[in-house]
Every structure is written in C-alpha cells, then in structure tokens.
Amino acid sequence: MSSLRRRLLLWFLTLSLIGWAGTTLVTWYRLSDEMDEIYDAQLMRTTRQLAQMLIPLLEDEKRPPAQRITLARTLLDRMIALPMNDPYMAQFLARGWWHGQPLTGEAGPLPPRHSDPALRNETQNGKRQRRYRFYDVQHDLLVEVTELHNARALITREFAETVVLPLLILGPLLGLAAWVTVRRGLEPLKCIVREIEQRSLQDLSHLQEAKAPREVAPMVKALNRLLERVREGIDREQRFTADASHELRTPLAGLRVQAQLALRSTDASQRARALEQLIAGIDRSTHVVEQLLTMARMDPGHSISRRRQEAIRPLLEETVASITTLIEQKQLHVEIGGDDADALVDREALLILLRNLLDNATRYTPEQGEIRVECREQGQSTVLEIHDSGPGIPAKQRGRLLEPFQRGEQRDISGCGLGLSIVQRIVAMHDGNLELGSSPLGGLAVTITLPGARNVRPRDGG
C-alpha cells in the first residue's frame, strides 16, 4: 500500500531539487556570460592600450631601430612580469610583431593577420586561455594579449561555494520542515479515521463536515452520501424482512390448519377438500417465495450489465404463451399491437417484468375481459403499454402500490403485493420510467419507457 505522506514528501523534495538546480544553472550561465563580457572588454582594452603605447616607441625616428625594438620588448616584458596581488585581476601574456619582426623572444613566427577571429579560446599546456589580437594596418603592428582563466575560474568556484554549500546545509532542514508540514497537513485525515474507527456498527450518522479542510471536504461528503445510502438500504431490507415474515406467517399457518383438518377428518370428501385447500395454499406460498427471491435478486442498487438489443414483440408473445391456461379459463381477449420495436435490455429481467405485468392484468381483469399490449419506438426510447379492462387503481393509491407488499382494494384476488414493486425495480435498473394511469378500456394502464437500441451503446457484461 502506497503512503500518501511519502508521495507528498517525494514530490515536494523532487520539485524543490529541480527548482534549485534550474535556478543554479541559469544563474551560473548568466554570471559566466556577464563575467566573459567584462573580462573580454578588459582584454580588448588592454590590448589596444598596449598597441597605443608601442606605436610611439616604434615610430620614434630619433632612435635607431634596434633601440626601438628593445624598448618595446621591455614594455611587453614588464606587462608579463606585472605582480598580481589581487586574485581577481586577470593575468596577461603579451606578444608583438612590427613589420613582421617579433618584439619578444617568445613571440614565435608571425601569425596570420586576418585569418583568425580577434577573440578566441585556446588551450596550452592543459590551461585554458583567452586570446585577443589587434592589428594596426597603418603601422603594420600586430599585438596579441593572452589572458589566463585563473580569475574567471576563481569567481566561478566561489559562486558555486556561495550558492551550493548553503543549499546543501539547508537541504536536511528543508526536508525536516516538509515532513512536519505534510504530517500536520494530513492530521484531518487521521481525525476522520479515528472517528470512523470509534463508531459502532449501528452508528451510520454523518461525519462532521465543518471541521474538514476544503481539500478533504469532498471525500467527507462522499462518505456521508455512502453512509446515507447504506442506512437507507439497511432500513429497506429491515422493512422487507419484516413484511416478508408477516406475509409468510399467514399462509404457513393456513397450511398447518388444512393439514390438521385433513389428518383428523374421517369423511373422504372433507379430507379431499382439505387437501385441495392445502395444495392451493402451497401454490400461494410458493408464489410468495418466488416473488421474494425475485425481489431480492432485483436490488435497486444493482446495475444491469448484460444488456443486449432485444426485439420486444417476441418476448411479449412468449410471456402471453406462458399464461395461456389462465387466459383461456377466464376467456380473456389479449391483443398484441404496435411496432416491431427493439430495446437495450437484459432479456431475463425483461421477461420477469412482462410476466408480472401480464399476470396482474389477467388476475384483475374479469372474465371475458380485454387486455391490450402495445410496443412502439418514440424518439430514442422504446415505449411499452399494457391496458386491461379490470377495476383499475385510484390515482391516490398508485404511488403506494409500487412499494413492497402493498395491495389494492381487491382483497378477494390472490397475490402478495410484490408484482408492481418488482416491475419498478427492473425499470429503474434499466434507467427507464414507469407510469400508472387510467386505461381507455376502463382498467389500469401501465406505461414503461426503456432506452432504445439505436442511439444507446450496450455495456459489455463480459
């Protein structure tokens, strides 16, 4: 598990090191460039001044040429032997040629007057040098002054000691300060962790948002929303468990009574009626258990991950065929109309939805009644409508009947009050919409809107 503190320290120190190195390099470059300009100007000025001093000596016709050269050589030698008491003063080596004749013993052969640049870097005996040549065309005088890099190197070295050494000393202190800062900055997270650890399993109240820093507040709000959803889920499951136990207790008690009647009865016809009631009770209990299992499987927090493009009409025909026996017993007229629309659905979940809707319609529609099912495409959605000629549901009761174990006023019709609740959960899992209304046939109209298959990309469930 990665440490947030270690990551923050690493990022902080890394960025600080990069910033320090970048600043040092830029300052170093700028200082070196400025020093080169200063010392180059001094080198050029010294060379030109030396030439101006040599010209009067060499052009003095009152002296013989040998004496002129001797005086010029003495001037150049004095410059080389100039004492260097200041380490920041540049050290020069001077050479000269007059009419092609060297003025010093170390002058060597006459270099080209115009082939090389006036300023250039050279290396001699492993030492870096900066050389400047000045040529006076009128007097045919070439003066060359070479500066050793001692002064420049000294200034650069002292700059490094001035800038780098303090930072090396301050580095550990900066790391310690960063560690303390990060530790104190993460203290609110530790407080939240302690608050959560000290809570009991039953305590799902909100965390305190007022004490959380601005950066941590979104996480605290997200945790509070999660706690609220968990609390709602637990409350919903507790209500569901209580309602389920109540719904199962009554039919199980009836089964026990019918079984006792069949066991104690001496009359064959009474025993047969008791057994028939027992079988009917078992069927009702089985239906309740199946609906409870379906309800538990269709958790509203669960997202459909196996959506595929499905044609709705074949699923309607399959569902109608599965309840043909009940339809024929009540002599109902069932009509499937509309278009051949497709929807992006989970096939198994949609079959459960259709089976519950059509089962409710057939149960509540009187004998020789009518059920009409329509399916059509509407924009980017697919609309499914189921109409029946039953008693319908009053407008004030429609919202309540979408809750688990809630039934209408027709208590004489068997059921457990889970059908519409299961339908609502399946519709919500498909990001659809469910509406209950009045049908032109006189009964209930159920309108379901599902995502169409044209403009919605299915999610791969693997």
Domain holding 343: CATH number? 3.30.565.10
Query: For 410-423, how does the pLDDT look when each residue is reduced to its tens digit (9 = 90+)?
Result: 555 655 667 787 78
Q: Give the neighbor-by-neighbor strand order of the sheet with 127-136.
A: 101-102, 92-98, 141-148, 127-136, 119-124
Please give the Cα distance from 429 to 342 (Å, whole number). 17
Residue 315 lies in a domain: yes
pLDDT at 346: 80
pLDDT of residue 415: 56
Looking at residue 235, which CATH number applies to its domain? Answer: 1.10.287.130
Domain tally, the chain: 3
Which residues have a Cβ under 8 Å from the Cβ of 389 and sit 6 or more positions away? 365, 366, 369, 370, 371, 439, 441, 442, 443
Indicate whether 182 belongs to any domain.
no
The last residue of one of the domains, among 274, 295, 316, is: 295
Domain limit, last residue, from 273, 295, 317: 295
Measure the CA–CA gap between 372 and 389, rounded to whole angstroms. Answer: 9
Question: Taking the model in full, what pTM does it have?
Answer: 0.47
Which residues of the chain register pLDDT less than 70? 1-2, 79-90, 105-110, 112-117, 149-150, 160, 164, 167-168, 171, 239-240, 242-251, 254, 284-285, 287-288, 290-306, 404-417, 453-462
Give me 114's structure tokens: 């115009």
Closest CA to 158 of 83, 88, 90: 88
Predicted confidence at residue 398, as pLDDT, reads 78
255 and 306 fall within a common domain: no
Establish if 164 belongs to a structural domain: no
**One domain for residues 153 and 10:** yes
Domain enclosing residue 62, as ranges: 4-158
Last residue of a domain, one of 141, 158, 175: 158
On whether both 43 and 124 belong to a single domain, the answer is yes
Q: Is the domain of 366 the same as that of 340? A: yes
Q: What distance, in Å, lies between the first and last C-alpha atoms of the chain?
A: 29
428 SS3 class: helix
Domain for residue 446, yes or no?
A: yes
Closest CA to 99 of 66, 59, 139, 65: 139
> What are the tens digits of pLDDT across the range 251-282?
677 677 778 777 777 778 877 877 877 787 77
- In a shared domain, residues 310 and 256: no
